[in-house]
Amino acid sequence: MTMSRVLVVDDDIQLCELLSEVLEEEGYHVDTVHCGESALQFIQSNPVDLVLLDVMLPNLSGLQVARRICQRFATPILMLTALNDEASMLDGYQAGADQYIAKPFKVPELLTRIKVILRRVAFERQRQSLATTNQGLNEQLSRLPLTGTEQELLDFLIKNNGVVVSKSDLQVRVLKKELCPFDRNLDMHISNIRRKLVQAGLSKQHIKTVRGKGYSYLETVGA
């Protein structure tokens, strides 16, 4: 598992050293800079998972830095502030902060907030990755050289993703006739779809046989 990279932006050098020590003990990779300009330059050339950003910085304020980060990157921001009032916090949220913590803060509270933000980020990345994968899968499925009947069968199974559809349902809803005891027509169509999936470099496990029940389409299959 890769270490999450945290950038601490604060002109208080002692606080930066303390935060580096605490976060590194928790398994984070930590970088520190002491002004907004350096923070923007650093993020430009280094991927960062989270920015701990002080509001009160020389030259560019923390709010200005937060706005610029949000305009160009999707990096989450946890703002550190001595201004523990609602108006300051609202300004921070409008600038793009994900969360706020007031100085002086307790280390366990800071660590909990960091974990919450990074867990959310990891979940969003996973969801985006899955969406990209599924989009790619849908494009590949749309290019399969299927017959009209095979396409209708696959579309019906995809529409019922994860649900076991009985053979009799598929027979009536797609093939438009009742299922007879020795009719292998449906099984042949499913077999052809699987063969074409494999030929296209996809897994035949996308169409699962549920013995005694029917078939189901699975968008995500094991390796």
- Name the β-bridge partners of 198: none
CATH number assigned to the domain comprising residue 165? 1.10.10.10
14 and 121, same domain (yes or no): yes
Backbone angles phi, psi at 120, to 5 degrees: -65, -40
Say if residue 120 is in the same domain as residue 149. Answer: no
Token pair 């913590």 is found at 101
β-pairing, 50-54 vs 5-9, is: parallel
Pairing of strands 77-81, 99-102: parallel
Residue 199 confidence (pLDDT): 86
Residues 10 and 107 in one domain: yes
pLDDT digits (tens, 9 = 90+) for 103-141: 889 999 999 999 999 988 888 777 766 655 666 788 888
| Helix, strand, coil abundance in the chain, percent, nearest 5 | 50, 15, 30
Number of structural domains found in the chain: 2
State pLDDT tens for residues 159-216.
Answer: 999 999 999 999 999 988 887 776 788 888 999 999 999 888 888 889 998 888 899 9
Q: Tell me the pTM.
A: 0.60
In a domain, 222, yes or no: no
Domain annotation covers residue 136: no
CB 40 within 8 A of CB 68: yes
pLDDT per residue over 57-95, tens digit each? Answer: 988 999 999 999 988 888 999 999 887 767 778 888 888
**92 DSSP 8-state letter:** H
Of 131, 154, 181, which one is at a domain's C-terminal end? 131
CA angle 213, 214, 220 (to 5 degrees): 115
Residues whose CB is less than 8 angstroms from the CB of residue 24 and which lie 6 or more positions away in sequence, other chains included: 30
Q: Tell me how far apart the alpha carbons of residues 213 and 38 are, in angstroms, rounded to a whole number.
A: 63
Between CA 141 and CA 146, with CA 142 as vertex, the angle to 5 degrees is 85
Q: Structural domain of residue 163, as residue ranges?
A: 144-217
